[in-house]
Amino acid sequence: MRYTLGKQEKLKSKKAIEQLFAEGNRISSFPLQLIYLTNIHQSKFPIKVGFTVPKRSVKLAVRRNRIKRIMREVYRKNKHLFSDNLKGHYIFMFIYSAKEEIKQEDLELSLKKISTKFLSKTTENAQN
């Protein structure tokens, strides 16, 4: 597995994003929230991912962009936690919900918790 986050792995489609927010399932571990949805997409990667920081939570664009940059880096380093045991194609959106910037290590712990919750939910749904 390559530890990159290329153009084909990023969620860009407005239709897919609208469908994700309308029909997606949510998992949260403070300060991150994951919205995911099973989706057929033409990418060779099993997951397309997007990151967002609400303007309501973090007012300054400089800080929002820094938080998104850190979130992308944490996901890039740990994306194998999601994609290794995955069957099917998914679209993800990570939402940052804290009011202030949190350390990268804490963000990484939150992402790991979300990955275990996500994998347990997807295997549970596959068994039903």
pLDDT at 112: 95
Containing structural domain, residue 88: 7-120
Structural domain total, the chain: 1
pLDDT value at 105 more than 70: yes
Which among 3, 22, 18, 1 is positioned nearest to 76, based on CA atoms? 3
Identify whether 55 is part of a domain: yes
pTM of the complete model: 0.92
Identify whether 22 is part of a domain: yes
Identify whether 127 is part of a domain: no
Identify whether 126 is part of a domain: no
pLDDT value at 1 more than 70: no
pLDDT at 6: 87
pLDDT value at 4 more than 90: no
pLDDT value at 97 more than 90: yes
Identify whether 1 is part of a domain: no
Identify whether 125 is part of a domain: no
pLDDT value at 125 more than 80: no
CATH number at residue 63: 3.30.230.10
